[in-house]
Amino acid sequence: MSNESLANLLKEERRFAPPAELAANANVTAEAYERAKADRLGFWAEQARRLSWETEPTEALDWSNPPFAKWFKDGRLNVAYNCVDRHVEAGLGDRVAIHFEGEPGDTRAITYADLRREVSKAANALIELGVQTGDRVAIYMPMIPETVVAMLACARIGAPHSLVFGGFSSDALATRIQDADARVVITADGGYRRGKPSALKPAVDEALTQPGTEKVRNVLVVRRTGEETAWTEGRDVWWHELVDRQSEEHTPQAFEAEHPLFILYTSGTTGKPKGILHTSGGYLTQAAYTHHAVFDLKPETDVYWCTADVGWVTGHSYIVYGPLANGATQVIYEGTPDTPHKGRWWEIVEKYKVTILYTAPTAIRTCMKWGDDIPAKFDLSSLRVLGSVGEPINPEAWVWYRHNIGGDRTPVVDTWWQTETGAIMISPLPGVTEAKPGSAQVPLPGISATVVDDEANEVPNGSGGYLVLTEPWPSMLRTIWGDDQRYLDTYWSRFQNRYFAGDGAKKDEDGDIWLLGRVDDVMLVSGHNISTTEVESALVSHPKVAEAAVVGATDPQTTQAICAFVILRGSAAEDEGLVEELRAHVAKHLGPIAKPKRILPVDELPKTRSGKIMRRLLRDVAENRDLGDVTTLTDSTVMTLIQSKLPGAASSED
Ligand code: ATP
Ligand code: MG
């Protein structure tokens, strides 16, 4: 898309300086960029000292066999010890680690001392089940404290975990169990969603009937809902029977920094999920550092809340490993934002006096759709930093978030990263960066990223291309589980010696980075490359639109034609002239070439469980094709609803 269009999106020149008080007391200041630039590996070696090592590493990076990195390779540590025990040993045993809020309203406050006991018992239980260092454990759980305990227990004994979203089907679970060759599955009878118990164990039972899952010896089951649960004697074990009777003592053993910590399958927005492998020392270093830097965490006073599901990477790095390594106090909420009412999240912020909130654009746009009056009913004045992750955040949604949730006080940090990168890579720093709504802006200290053209040349400011990472980073994926070749092909073959992220991006006149969506989603209209993100942001900037998804559908005249699916804001009606009005609005913002050919108001969009719009399914719909793989979709009935709206729907031709 032309530079003009970006300039258009930016034309209001909205800039937000960091609040003075935050800037004055910020954990990280502008000096960190310089220091990291002067000595990148020295900078990361210094960050590694945030952790407690049994054996300190003497070298930061071994890049002798690229792209297979080894970080801090002669160092030894235990990840669970770093997240739990060391805080207790430092006298912080009484600090609350987790304020748990169940969907039905039950609550638990779990201190670091409690967490140490629970994790030790769970580690002993896994050992009793015969789990050995290196064995894989699949975890298929709701958002309850035992999920965190289970992950840390695995980390403690060096058994890599593989979390599978609680919303996935038994088939998706079976594929992941097979691929990781898991020996034990940890699950629950169910969890609460939308006011009702929602069973999980039946999907595990079903998955374990499939070939390739025979090596699963045991299923460890947490009782959460108390619903009737089918039982396989000899295989199934209740958590409260096995874990509760274990000793509270377990001495953590140190592992090599490169010991595998977890496998996590990407959310599958673009196709077959990849089993991303993360290891221990480098991963924990960057998760801890970025959580400290990007959220300005003050563990003594902050109450942090990340609304992500623990089953995706944000939950791994910014519910479990980063915050706990930093000794944070955090909120974990089990349920959906609208149960029992649409103000539930804001009620939780008010109740726990949450100071840092980290969520996804999809959630913010949903709240916009529900209306400003809902958050306005609650006292959100405790908030001081807001974060966003998962998709590009439209400038309109960014401004809405800062205004309606942040009371026009708080910085908003738009954090770009991926399952593969393990931790945040590109983001403003809340006490340093003058924020631009809609832009992730700058690589963090110690991170090297840029935008290149087809020939791998760095593009000048004001131009777009492909986002690449130019130097290895501590929390980078080490490979795709069991498939080194796919690791090389997917990330390292497009450009020599550079990691290709798969995302389009552009640099503005100041050199700040704007993410433009996946390269696979970029549209080609009459010879022009048009980014889905920019058209979506233009639509969302219209007062009647809460959310938009844009795809390019094959078109005989223009190669691709822009097709937009929009969700209207709470009060907006779907009247006659609306579609025309929206088309004109986009043309005004981005130029006539970006004017959507069709606009279809819908009630919901197809999303992954992590809240990302699955544009490839919308493309299938727009081109009247059978739907591709829908296994990672939250709710497959959404597609039927959208398809049923299609014939003769609000389309218009030029
Ligand atoms: P798959 O790789 O299987 O298709 P996925 O890419 O959706 O799935 P994730 O690793 O969860 O799986 O998502 C990372 C992607 O999310 C990034 O590559 C980018 O496209 C998008 N993303 C995440 N954060 C941001 C952000 N702040 N701004 C723009 N895009 C973002
Ligand atoms: Mg991806």
Q: Is the CB of 532 under 6 A from ligand 1?
A: no
CB neighbour class for 402 (10 Å; exposed up to 12, middle 13-18, buried from 19): buried
Alpha-carbon 456 to chain mean position: 28
To the question of whether residue 50 is assigned a binding role by annotation, the answer is no
> How would residue 13 be classed by pLDDT, with cut points 50, 70 and 90?
low
* Alpha carbon nearest to ligand 1 atom 31, residue: 391
Q: What pLDDT does residue 285 have?
A: 99
pLDDT tens track for 473-490: 999 999 999 999 999 999
Q: Is the CB of 389 under 6 A from ligand 1?
A: yes
Q: What pLDDT does residue 400 have?
A: 96
Of 313, 372, 319, residue with least CA distance to 343: 372
Query: Same domain, yes or no, for 493 and 539?
Result: no
Detail the DSSP E strand segments found in 438-577.
449-452, 464-469, 479-480, 499-507, 513-518, 523-525, 528-530, 545-555, 559-568
Residue 633 domain flag: yes
432 C-alpha vs ligand 2 centroid, how far in Å? 29
pLDDT averaged over every residue in the chain: 93
Residue 55 domain flag: no
The dihedral through the CA atoms of 488, 255, 88, 126 has a sign that is positive
In 3-state terms, what secondary structure has residue 24? helix
> How would residue 646 be classed by pLDDT, with cut points 50, 70 and 90?
low
Residue 573 domain flag: yes
Query: Same domain, yes or no, for 464 and 562?
Result: no
DSSP strand pairing (218-222 vs 184-188): parallel
Residue 2 domain flag: no
End-to-end CA distance of the chain: 21
Q: Is the CB of 81 under 6 A from ligand 1?
A: no
CB neighbour class for 635 (10 Å; exposed up to 12, middle 13-18, buried from 19): middle
To the question of whether residue 417 is assigned a binding role by annotation, the answer is yes
pLDDT tens track for 141-158: 999 999 999 999 999 999
Residue 533 domain flag: yes
pLDDT of 630 > 80? The answer is no
Q: Is the CB of 165 under 6 A from ligand 1?
A: no
Query: Same domain, yes or no, for 478 and 597?
Result: no
- What is the percent of the chain where pLDDT is above 70? 96
Q: Show the domain range for 628.
A: 524-651
To the question of whether residue 588 is assigned a binding role by annotation, the answer is no
Q: Is the CB of 418 under 6 A from ligand 1?
A: yes
Count of other CB atoms within 10 angstroms of residue 522: 18
Which of these three, 481, 496, 518, is where a domain ends?
Answer: 518
Q: Is the CB of 266 under 6 A from ligand 1?
A: yes
Q: Is the CB of 268 under 6 A from ligand 1?
A: yes
Split into its structural domains, the chain has a count of 2
Which of these three, 518, 540, 560, is where a domain ends?
Answer: 518
Sole residue written with tokens 């227990």: 153
> How would residue 30 be classed by pLDDT, with cut points 50, 70 and 90?
very high
CB neighbour class for 41 (10 Å; exposed up to 12, middle 13-18, buried from 19): middle
State the chain's maximal CA–CA distance in angstroms. Answer: 73
Q: Is the CB of 612 under 6 A from ligand 1?
A: yes
pLDDT tens track for 587-606: 998 889 999 999 999 988 98
Amino acid (one-letter) located at 366: T
Query: Same domain, yes or no, for 506 and 557?
Result: no
Of 141-145, 293-297, 436-440, 634-638, which gets the smallest average pLDDT?
A: 634-638
Q: Is the CB of 419 under 6 A from ligand 1?
A: yes
Q: What pLDDT does residue 639 have?
A: 81
* Alpha carbon nearest to ligand 1 atom 1, residue: 268
Query: Same domain, yes or no, for 570 and 638?
Result: yes
* Alpha carbon nearest to ligand 1 atom 13, residue: 418
pLDDT of 269 > 80? The answer is no
> How would residue 654 be classed by pLDDT, with cut points 50, 70 and 90?
very low
221 C-alpha vs ligand 2 centroid, how far in Å? 31
588 C-alpha vs ligand 1 centroid, how far in Å? 29
Q: What is the CATH number of the domain that holds 538?
A: 3.30.300.30
Which of these three, 483, 518, 553, is where a domain ends?
Answer: 518
Interatomic CA distance for residues 502 and 467, integer angstroms: 7
Sole residue written with tokens 């609306």: 578
Residue 241 domain flag: no
Interatomic CA distance for residues 100 and 107, integer angstroms: 5
Alpha-carbon 424 to chain mean position: 10
Q: What pLDDT does residue 650 have?
A: 37
Specify the ligand 1 atom closest to the Cα of 632: 3
To the question of whether residue 540 is assigned a binding role by annotation, the answer is yes
Of 201, 264, 341, 312, residue with least CA distance to 609: 312
Query: Same domain, yes or no, for 514 and 533?
Result: no
CB neighbour class for 460 (10 Å; exposed up to 12, middle 13-18, buried from 19): exposed
pLDDT of 93 > 70? The answer is yes
Query: Same domain, yes or no, for 607 and 645?
Result: yes
- 373: which 2 tokens? 């009056």
Q: What pLDDT does residue 27 have?
A: 98
Query: Same domain, yes or no, for 505 and 581?
Result: no
- 548: which 2 tokens? 């938009």
485 C-alpha vs ligand 2 centroid, how far in Å? 17
418 C-alpha vs ligand 2 centroid, how far in Å? 6
Of 596, 426, 429, 445, residue with least CA distance to 513: 426
- 545: which 2 tokens? 């639109």
pLDDT of 54 > 70? The answer is yes
Mean pLDDT value across residues 325-352? 97
Mean pLDDT value across residues 206-227? 97
To the question of whether residue 526 is assigned a binding role by annotation, the answer is yes
Interatomic CA distance for residues 275 and 262, integer angstroms: 10
- pTM of the predicted model as reported, rounded to 2 decimal places: 0.93
Query: Same domain, yes or no, for 626 and 537?
Result: yes
- What is the percent of the chain where pLDDT is above 90? 83
pLDDT of 90 > 70? The answer is yes
Mean pLDDT value across residues 96-123? 98
Mean pLDDT value across residues 290-312? 97
Q: What is the CATH number of the domain that holds 503?
A: 2.30.38.10
Interatomic CA distance for residues 223 and 210, integer angstroms: 25
Instruction: Note the ligand closest to the C-alpha atom of 271.
Output: 1
- 223: which 2 tokens? 């009782």
Residue 637 domain flag: yes
pLDDT of 550 > 70? The answer is yes
Query: Same domain, yes or no, for 643 and 593?
Result: yes
Q: What pLDDT does residue 651 have?
A: 39
Detail the DSSP E strand segments found in 102-136.
107-111
Q: Which residues pair with 191 in a beta bridge?
A: 198
Instruction: Note the ligand closest to the C-alpha atom of 316.
Output: 1
To the question of whether residue 302 is assigned a binding role by annotation, the answer is no
Q: Is the CB of 521 under 6 A from ligand 1?
A: no
Of 549, 528, 532, 542, residue with least CA distance to 599: 549
Whether the Cβ atoms of residue 574 and residue 568 lie closer than 8 Å to each other: yes
Residue 265 domain flag: no
Specify the ligand 1 atom closest to the Cα of 274: 3
282 C-alpha vs ligand 2 centroid, how far in Å? 21
